Amino acid sequence: MTFEEIHTRIRTYQQEGKKLFTSSSFQSHSLVLLHMLSRIDRGIPVYFLNTGYHFPETVAFVDRISEELGLNIIRLNPVVPKHQQRDADGNLLFTSDPDYCCFLNKTQPMEDVLRSYDVWINGVRADQSLVRKAMKLEQPAPHDVLRFHPMLDWSIQEVFAYLREYDLPRHPLDAKGYSSIGCEPCTKKPDPEMHEREARWYGMNKVECGLNTDLAQSS
């Protein structure tokens, strides 16, 4: 979708009285959607899942982008505190059950957010994973929420062309070789032959956290 098409669709949702929000991991490629929303309506809430495991560089980058784009950022914390996120041996869950760790720190808190909105503006791209390739422009989510995927048909080349056109900043870890940045304990620099998201859960045969599987329904 072009910016004009995205703008029109969002205004239509608003004219229909729908409550909108978006979520963001604040990686470099996330800034395209955030920048477009700042041009359309800076009042749309932007939820950042504050897992407690982010790189310090990511936390600082959120603050920088919030100020530069004037966004309405809401930091969303897990429902279950960290001291309770341990397995039977007392180890933190990311060491033994990364899927459940993602559920507690991402999926569960986001599901609570869905109960308060009508439309979730989500920046997934079809070229990021097979799960995302199967998604539609509009797709149902739990609690009668509509997922809207305006970036679905964008390529990574188009993303970086937009970043250059508007001289948008890059996540500081880009320069250190990270292609996809999640929580610090699980994210590694990718090997040259790896897809961008494979390094998010390095060596775990995992490319999704649950936000785009558990919180997406077949249309």
Give the separation between CA 66 and CA 45, rounded to whole angstroms. Answer: 11
Query: Looking at 101, 183, 186, 209, which residue is catalytic?
Result: 209
Give the separation between CA 122 and CA 23, rounded to whole angstroms. Answer: 7
CB 79 within 8 A of CB 52: no
Give the separation between CA 212 and CA 103, rounded to whole angstroms. Answer: 12
CB 112 within 8 A of CB 79: yes
Residue 209 known to be catalytic: yes
CB 169 within 8 A of CB 67: no
3-state secondary structure of 181: coil
Q: Which residues are known catalytic residues?
A: 209
